[in-house]
A and B are shown apart, each in its own frame.
Chain A
Amino acid sequence: MTPLSRRTVLRGLGAAVGLPLLDAMIPVGRLAAAAAPPRRPIRLVCMEMVHGAAGSSAIGAKKNLWAPAATGRDFDLSPTSLRPLEPFRDHLTIVSNCDVENADPFTASEIGGDHFRSSAVFLTQSHPKQTAGADVRAGISLDQLYAQRFGQETPLPSMQLCIEPIDQMGGCGYGYSCVYTDAISWATPTRPLPMIRNPRVVFDTLFGVSDPAASPDERRARRREDRSILDWIVRSAARLRAQLGAGDRTRLDDYLESVREVERRIAAVEARNESGEPRELPSAPAGVPDSFSDHVRTMVDLQALAFASDVTRVCSFKLGRDNSNRTYPESGFAGPFHNASHHSGKEDRILEFAKINTYHVKTVAYLLETLASTPDGDASVLDNTLVLYGSPMGDSNLHNHKRVPFFMAGRAGGALKGGVHVRAPNGTPLANAMLTALHALGFDDLPAFGDSTGTMDL
């Protein structure tokens, strides 16, 4: 029997819903010879948080507020902001004590512009050209290197998501274009990729992109009718269901239920935000939840659906924006983010800032939890994913780029051992960790990345 194509989609008017990996997509001979299952594609998530971490300050480093005291496998996460990741410690690769020198000023005119150029450095590890015009230049970002080589088989080579507003034009300060602050993915050294903030846009992109009939008007019409996207594909889903075995039917039903659940949450947020009730984020699109954690969770769920349906294998996810004074009361500290990061080197304020860092890391725990519970054949998506999380800034009170917070999670299909903390020698470029990650992702032939000086034993 001919296996079902991995690219099979359930089609309806203005909708095209990709499918999770089903047994019916695996050739019978190979399924029977399960001793050598095919290697699943590796998914990549790159998450950036701005403003460094409390653990990058002198006091914070001594108190192990970011990196644990012990290196190797026997590390204690409890004093650190990484403690929400304890359930996933076997998937963790913590790389501490690295610097991002390409975010430092190179000339007198660049001094003081750290907030306006750092984000452009995070995934490119390249020094951005100081310009407020259109002649921007940084480097190709890590996620885009991967997407360009391994993301071409999927409908979307990559997705770029963000939480904070990124619609500023022109120069943002110190002679830097706003794109340096707003974009972390660079397709070429001169082409930053726009990031999507609105979960509705992500949802429509994921479940309409493959259908040539899915015009924006049709998508809007569908929403006006207050119907689920699944209502449009009900016949197509029933036809497919009839061809599937019991296990695949359960997988399909669970998956479609997840799609419906995310869609329902987005619709509920839109209804609330369009109701005329006062909003905390009045200028945000209706699909954007006012709550940071709700917003992040929805974006994470969308990424999990994108990976499960193989619509894309690469996501970059910008969680913050430099100079943002957003508050995170759920962190246990209600003060504004940017002010908290300027802690004056005082221990009590450093500890407050650490609460925000811990809260942000919790978002990664949710991502890992979600990916771990998303099936990928007979494994989970997490088994076949690499997550990078970090900041291009170190001690934000000094605006430096030393001892930057960084870790990886997931085992990249077995290429990373996980469960390890590596403290790099002083002065090690973070680019070394990223080059090592790229090698784990299949770039064995890549000799250098950014200002890397070598690889690390991870």
Chain B
Amino acid sequence: MTKLFVAALTALALADAASNVTGTWNMGLQGGHVVPVALVLKQDGTAVTGTIALPTQHAGERKEVELKGRFDAGALKLSGAADGAAEETTIEIAGKMLDDGSLEGTIAMVAGGSTHSATWTAERLKERRQ
């Protein structure tokens, strides 16, 4: 009986996680190698807000970009504009949630008329305290 109860609770928790992207995601951008970046999202209904911390050209530095978009029926769409860039730069993220609760998709950076795209995967960060 106890086992059934626990299984039911687990199933509910998984269902909730699958319908919600709120939280911190360890996102791996697939370039020449996998660049880990922080994607922090908050979902309210189907509306999603958040940030992505993208590495800059200077090693060890990153720039946080605010994002807005939607998560609906397992599909994620987000966009944002990078402040302070030499030319107007926009970020477009599209993705979907997989059965194991991870995310995957593509990211496009549009600047000065040219677009740079990459694929990505993301897993929820196991947030811990030191």
Could you list which residues of chain A lie within 8 angstroms of chain B, going by C-beta atoms? Answer: 104-109, 111-112, 114, 116, 127, 129, 137, 171-174, 323, 342-344, 396-399
Contacts and interface: CB of A to CB of B under 8 A. Distances in A.
Interface of B is mostly: strand
Given A105-B125, A106-B129, A107-B127, A174 B38 contact: no
10 contacts: A105-B26, A105-B36, A107-B127, A107-B128, A108-B127, A112-B38, A112-B62, A173-B60, A174-B60, A174-B62
B67 to A, nearest CB: 14
B37 A112 contact: yes
Contacts, number: 64
B129 A397 contact: no
Interface residues of B, number: 24
A343 B33 contact: yes
Contact of A111 (B32, B34, B38, B59): B38
B59 to A, nearest CB: 6
A31 B74 CA distance: 78
Contact of B59 (A105, A323, A342, A397): A323
Contacts of A109: 38, 53
Interface in B1-60: 24, 26-28, 32-38, 40, 53, 55, 59-60
Contact of B26 (A111, A127, A171, A173): A111
A397 B33 contact: yes
A106 B35 contact: no
Contacts of A172: 60
B100 interface: no
A132 B46 CA distance: 38
Interface of B: 24, 26-28, 32-38, 40, 53, 55, 59-62, 125-130
Given A106-B130, A174-B60, A111 B33 contact: no
Given A107-B127, A129-B130, A174-B62, A112 B55 contact: yes
A319 to B, nearest CB: 21
B96 to A, nearest CB: 21
Given A173-B61, A398-B28, A112 B125 contact: no
Q: Which of A106, A323, A396 has the most CB of B within 10 A?
A: A106
Contacts of A396: 33
Contacts of A114: 36
Given A111-B27, A173-B59, A399-B36, 17 more contacts: A105-B26, A105-B125, A106-B127, A107-B125, A107-B127, A108-B24, A108-B40, A108-B53, A108-B127, A109-B53, A111-B24, A111-B125, A112-B35, A112-B53, A116-B60, A173-B61, A399-B35
Contacts of B126: 104
Contacts of A127: 128, 130
A452 B33 CA distance: 31
A111 B37 contact: yes
A104 B123 CA distance: 13
Contacts of A173: 59-61
Given A111-B26, A174-B62, A106 B37 contact: no
Which residue of A107, A108, A137, A399 has the most chain B CB atoms within 10 A of its CB atom?
A108
A108 B125 CA distance: 8
A108 B128 contact: no
